[in-house]
Each structure stands twice: as structure tokens, then as C-alpha cells.
Amino acid sequence: MPEPMPRRVVVTGLGAVSSIGTGADVFAAGIRAGRNGFRPINSFDSTGFPATIAAEVPDFDPTALIRNLDVEQWGRSSLLAAAAARQAVGDSGLDPDELAASAAGSIIGTTGGESVPIGQLVGQWVADGLKSIDGRIVPQALASQIANAVNSELGLTGDAVTLGTACSASNFAIGYAYDLVRTGEADFMIAGGADAVNRSTHAGFYRLGALSTDGVCRPFDVDRSGIITGEGGVALLLEPLEHAQARGARIYAEVLGYGMNCDARHMVNPDSERIAECIRLAHDSAGVTPEDIDYICAHGTGTATNDSTEVSAARKVFGETLPPISSIKSSIGHTMGAASGFGALICCLAVHEGFLPPTANLQRIDPALGRGIDPLPGVAREEPVRIAQNHGFAFGGNNAITIFGRL
């Protein structure tokens, strides 16, 4: 028996809960205008930290966004994911009952898992001993709950997988979900990521010396000083092209392919050779060449090491002149496991609406990055985008790149 032809997969629904707004349209408007969501930290007592700015989601009210979950029983990362997924389904125009009755599930990426409940439990244990911990919080602390929350909110009975590949996790999730839909193992999949601002992640990046010292994230800028920790939930609804066309759905972009690999060399120092290889893997998977890429959504954390490594890797593939490349972390900070999910969302909208997302806060391009780089400073540039490339790199050298194209 011949193998069935793989299905083409498209993105028909988007959901975003971010520091610059809730809803994909509000999020995109903020990115296009170069706004940022940096504020003094409210999630935890930041006394003693030299860096006290983060990109938190202000006034996040899950009860206004979620229909089925008892919000008291879930952690913040789970609620961010479920809220974004509920938005994506509404945005897609799919009947929620049809979705729940289909072969459908969710793949959600994260870095810290349910870091807020874990922090609460650790605080109780340290203050008053193990017997003092609140048993009602314990079930919230499991990282697997993040995808479980999405499936429970939407009534999905397919895969519910939380991936912990840190800052590239959403791209891993999209690749996983894409394969399930492409091969016919699933009819629909929700893919994305979620993480919450928390003390342990903030402290970790502080100890690495990676936090911004002036409360601003400036990727590619000669005066950049580091990252801003952030949070959010993001979701993309993936379905087969034929099904989307048959129901007259709005199609944001086609998922053309992805590449994944691992540096296997250093915990936090990325390797340009392996990243370049990951780009090539993504191009091969998508059936495109470097000349086809109109825009790169960079990992772009706002550190000198990331910028020099990422630009060097891109030059190994694209040559001396790169496609326009920008970092939306300049607006929403580093949302950890959700970061490449937000990048994927903005790539879909860039393809659909025809604009190049900017690098906010960029004043002077670092001359050490060399010529032939266009990081799109300030605000969005109106320009057609046929194919967009979305970068995600993570601790341990986990690299994942997704490619999106216009139909």
C-alpha cells in the first residue's frame, strides 16, 4: 500500500496574552508601534535585586478569558496557556464542539513550568517547615498541567504534552503539532507556550549577568545591557489546508517546515555553527532556499553574546547581506518558553498582513555586528512578506526554527 501524501498545514487561529495586550490584534498593534510592556515587578518582592523591571501581564484576569476551568485549581502558566488557546479557537471560527469531537490536542512549551506555585510551596517550606505547605497548591505545581489545562478548557482528548525545552520550546511545540496534523494523526492541534514571571528565573538570569541594567531591552544596539524577564501565553491553531479552505477559514500562513538540533557543547553559550546547521535543516524541511526568506524573527535576547552569535550563524547561511531581522523581545521581554511562540504568531501576521516587525528601543546599531544587517529599528515597515523564519534558542543548546509562508 502506498503511503498517504502528507497534508499541508495552515495556521487559522491566534491567541496572545502579553505584557503589551491581550488578543492577537492588540498584540500585533503594540509590536508594530514599537511599544513595550516593561514595568516595576509586582509578581514577587524584588527587594535586593539591582534589576527590578519585568514584562508582566498587568491585571491578568483569567475568569474573563476562560470558560470551563476552575481558575482556583490551576497555576498562572496553565491559565495563561488556556486563555491564549481559548482565544485561538475563537479566532479560528471553528465550532468548539466540533473541535472537541475531533482528533485534537495541545503541545505547549515552557521553561519554568508552573514556577509560581513551586515558589509558593518552597517559600512555605522554608518559612514554617514541610508540614506547613498548602496541599491545595501542590497539584498546580506539575509542569504537565500546562498542556492539561488547554485540553481541559477546550475538551480536547488528543495529545496533551508540555515540552520543557526552555526558550525554544514553543518552536518545538509547533514542529511537533505540525507533524501530527501533517501525517493525519491529528485533525487539529493547539501549539504555543506559556511562562510566568517569577523569582527563581529572575534570580537565575541575574546570576548569569544577563539582566538589563537600565530596564530596557535593546537587541542589536551598541548600548544594549541585557534581557528583560517576561511572561505570557501564546497559541496557534493548526489544521489541514484542505479543511480550512473547505470551511472558508481565514488562513494566516502555512507552516512550511522546521529544523531542530542541539549544540551539545555548553549550557548557556550558543554555538553559531550548530545554529547555522539548524537554519539549513529548517530550509530543507520547508523546501526553501536562503534567497526565499523575506524576514527573520530573531531570538534576539538583548545580550551582546546572543546578537553576535545569531548574526554570525545567519551569515554562514545567507552570506554577508541578511534578510531584514528584528527582535520582538524589545517589546515583550524574554517570555521564556512562550518566546518563540510569540515570534511564530508575529511571523504569521507579518505574512498575512504584509509588514516587517520592528526592533523597538533600537537607537544605534552595534558596528561590531558588521555591514549588511537591517534590524528594523523603531516601528514596523509596511512590506510584503512571502516567507518568514522564526528563531528559538535555549539553554543546553536546544535550537528550533520554524518557517511560515503565504499561500
Condensed to tens digits (0 to 9), the pLDDT of residues 206-255 reads 999 999 999 999 999 999 999 999 999 999 999 999 999 999 999 999 99
Tell me what the mean pLDDT of segment 26-51 comes to: 97
List pLDDT tens digits, range 107-166. 999 999 999 999 999 999 999 999 999 999 999 999 999 999 999 999 999 999 999 999
pLDDT at residue number 3:
67
Q: Which of 167, 217, 278, 297 is catalytic?
A: 167
Residue 278: active-site member = no
Residue 167: active-site member = yes
Cell of 377: 529599528
Please give the share of the chain, as a percent, with pLDDT higher than 70.
99
pLDDT at residue number 268:
85
Confidence of residue 269 (pLDDT cuts 50, 70, 90): confident
Number of neighbouring beta carbons within 10 Å of residue 230:
30
Cell of 28: 500585533
- Is the dihedral angle over the CA atoms 175, 85, 345, 360 positive or is it negative? negative
Do 382 and 354 touch, CB atoms closer than 8 A?
Answer: yes
pLDDT at residue number 109:
98
Do 294 and 405 touch, CB atoms closer than 8 A?
Answer: no
Residue 190, H or E segment: strand 188-195
Tell me what the mean pLDDT of segment 296-323 comes to: 97
Confidence of residue 2 (pLDDT cuts 50, 70, 90): low
Confidence of residue 5 (pLDDT cuts 50, 70, 90): confident
Q: pLDDT at residue 1 above 70? A: no
Query: How are beta strands 387-394 and 325-326 bridged, if at all?
Result: unpaired
Confidence of residue 51 (pLDDT cuts 50, 70, 90): very high
- Mean of the per-residue pLDDT values for the chain? 97
Q: Which of 283, 299, 352, 391 is catalytic?
A: 299
Residue 243: active-site member = no
List pLDDT tens digits, range 357-394. 999 999 999 999 999 999 999 999 999 999 999 999 99
Query: How are beta strands 253-262 and 21-22 bridged, if at all?
Result: unpaired
Nearest to 335, CA basis, from 192, 173, 172: 192
Tell me what the mean pLDDT of segment 260-276 comes to: 92
Q: Which of 202, 283, 334, 391 is catalytic?
A: 334
Q: Which amino acid is at 244?
A: A
Confidence of residue 343 (pLDDT cuts 50, 70, 90): very high
Tell me what the mean pLDDT of segment 90-96 comes to: 98
- Is the dihedral angle over the CA atoms 320, 330, 360, 90 positive or is it negative? positive
